[in-house]
Amino acid sequence: MMLKVDNVCVSYGKAKALKGVSIEVRQGEAVAVIGSNGSGKTTLLNAIVNVVNKSGRVSFLDKDITNTKTYKIMRMGMAYLPDRRTVFADLSVYDNLIIAAFSKIKSGVQGYFKNESKEIFEMFPNLKDKLYLKAGLLSGGEQQMLSLAQLLLRKPRFIMLDEPSAGLSPKLVKQLFDIIVFMKESGFTVLVVEQNVNKTVKVADRVYVLKNGVITDTGNSEDFQDELRIKRAYFGG
């Protein structure tokens, strides 16, 4: 099992953000957690990487990581793209990518990047055209694409994406979900939390619905092509 979250609870003061959440992600899957704003999606990812206090158990690659420090979890092969831009704004796009490559391989970085860059630029053509532009001058959507490119250069075993389509133009939203499909087809294991339900369920293998800190429904992606089921999961009835 790539990831197992068992009965995880998180509270902020008296407010319960997660109430006994359990999910599983198997190797090679793309799993989606969908839910409205404030449902607990980001808190779930933060609990997995141990940046919030929690009860329950989290295991990664069949190892208990419930109390493992975040940087050690990342060294085990997990990557987390939060819902904020993570680029070095004062450095060029090229330098941002080289730094990501260096985190994967300490020697022969230029050769590694050269080998990987063709595939990267096929997925992110806008980055190739702006390779020597400062990352801070990119649009918000382009910075998100750069963050994704950095993540892929690190070759993680498991990728978590927090609201990756937020704030993107329709063109970049399509590109983003094409990239998630590519990740899955390339053997990456992906956990994505999203509000964009229609597009997310089309790229995921399995879906969990999170509402007010509780998993209210789960099933294969085909099960969630029915809009009525999604509405029931969100609103009851």
Within 10 angstroms of residue 22's Cβ, the number of other Cβ atoms is 14
pLDDT, average across residues 49-54: 97
d(CA 206, CA 219): 6
Q: How many angstroms separate the first and last alpha carbons of the chain? A: 34
Residue 108 has pLDDT above 80, yes or no: no
Give, as one character, the DSSP assignment of residue 222: G
Residue 3 has pLDDT above 80, yes or no: yes
**pLDDT at residue 37, rounded to an integer:** 87
Please give the domain boundaries of the chain with CATH numbers for all domains: 1-77+158-236 (3.40.50.300), 87-155 (no CATH)
Q: Which two tokens stand for residue 215?
A: 């998993």
Q: Are 35 and 21 in contact (CB under 8 A)?
A: no
Residue 57 has pLDDT above 60, yes or no: yes
pTM metric for this prediction: 0.90
**pLDDT at residue 84, rounded to an integer:** 73
Using DSSP bridges, classify how beta strands 158-162 and 78-81 pair: parallel, antiparallel or unpaired. Answer: parallel
Q: Which two tokens stand for residue 64?
A: 């208990």
Encode pLDDT of 161-179 as tens digits: 999 998 888 988 999 999 9
Length of the chain (residues):
237
